[in-house]
Chain A
């Protein structure tokens, strides 16, 4: 079989050993999300200190793509400022795993790849609005999240 465009070594490795897998007790941000049709289901936990992501974890069940993408997402936002996280784009995430092609080739599996980013954007939105009382910074994150896929 020729090299698989989805199931690369890196994806398989992440799905076997996800990064930052676990839970944070009483996190500043907690967002649960799932894909109703395939059964991917994750919880994303984030702590913010001095406007930066000081700790991030996730747990849940999902396919290899979901697990790998969520792992990479948590690695990429660790230590980032809220502003940077807010502007985090799907291309960055997909590019890291060589999955940009999914946008075109698999409208079904793109949902697995972007579930964590959707949860992140929703989570940050709620944090701005509810914890910081800052709807301005929250901007249109919620709409962005809903229109990811």
Chain B
């Protein structure tokens, strides 16, 4: 890569799995990064170092290992605060992932604040994890769910939000920062301003945003922000919920157990301070520590460079794909408006067949509904193919993907 300052070649060397051969000695072409990214050796080493040299439970014991582990664990909170410009570390809650973060808000904040007849607004391009928790809540309290639809470019029709807000019943707007299927970057600033004016709270699902662009939580000034570590070089099982302290203080705990308590008596309990009130039980210590190595890795590259690389790749792929007969691309065609995700269908071939055939060339893409069945319904397809890029993706890999489509055309006699 020429346009940015870091070397693609060196980056690739940091990812052991990228050297793998698959399916009869084919080079692995990993284009399923929106599902989960690969891990650099730094992350893998950090986890194994933790187990080899420090392993201990945290926050309780006084012995040396416990102290080291607690310190390392809590240092990750500070690292995240710096990475995302979060002013108060007590607002950072460790969870398993985006899904758990949203469920936490739905359960602990939702049941207290959303009542019968109230409205929760979400969008047609949400992941199931930002739809189903609200459905569960709505069913329980008798609230209603309303959608912001998408237009033919795969962008939200924000006038619909105005209409919803005008009812005066909207308690929460839950929207993804970047669509995991279309790659569309949501105009969250505009949405937040509208919500503030209307007195509605806003939750942002940042699972596809934090890995791919600079996110500044302090200046966003939303109410809740959720994301997952495994989509940004980190291990699975680590996610973050950020929420404004004023909400966290009033919210009931999500899970009860160890660590989240101050005093437990036979019939009542008082809660620990933030953030521990929401971190019941032994957390995923090793993977949280591994996640710190991922943040360091991305910080060294610089999120602006990450974004620039993806724009360049997406522009390259879109340009090449234009010349492939029978390819339908869903979502924005302007790489500035999307992250490195391209969803497509190839003639009338079912995405599962496309994925199976190109897998023989070592190309890993996702086929299916991508946990976004509401969007599939809107696009009027059962499934799509999705290629998603990351910091180690090369133009040559994009070429392999596009050339592999010729095999699909041959098999299906297109």
Contact = CB atoms under 8 A, between A and B. Distances in A.
Interface in B347-374: 349-353, 356-357, 367-369
B63 interface: no
B407 interface: yes
Nearest to A112: B352
Given A62-B350, A63-B350, A38 B383 contact: yes
B405 to A, nearest CB: 13
14 contacts: A1-B407, A1-B411, A6-B356, A12-B411, A15-B353, A37-B368, A38-B367, A38-B383, A39-B351, A39-B368, A39-B369, A63-B353, A64-B349, A112-B352
B325 interface: no
A122 to B, nearest CB: 21
B46 to A, nearest CB: 32
B382 A39 contact: yes
Given A12-B411, A12-B412, A65 B383 contact: no
B389 to A, nearest CB: 23
A83 interface: no
Contacts, number: 48
Interface of B: 349-353, 356-357, 367-369, 376, 382-383, 407, 410-413
A61 B382 contact: yes
Interface of A: 1, 4, 6-7, 12, 15, 37-41, 61-66, 109, 112
A6 B358 CA distance: 13
B10 to A, nearest CB: 35
A61 B345 CA distance: 14
Instruction: Pick the 3 closest A-B CB pairs, nearest first.
Output: A63-B350, A39-B383, A39-B382
Contacts of B356: 6, 109
A1 B408 CA distance: 11
A17 to B, nearest CB: 12
A38 B349 CA distance: 13
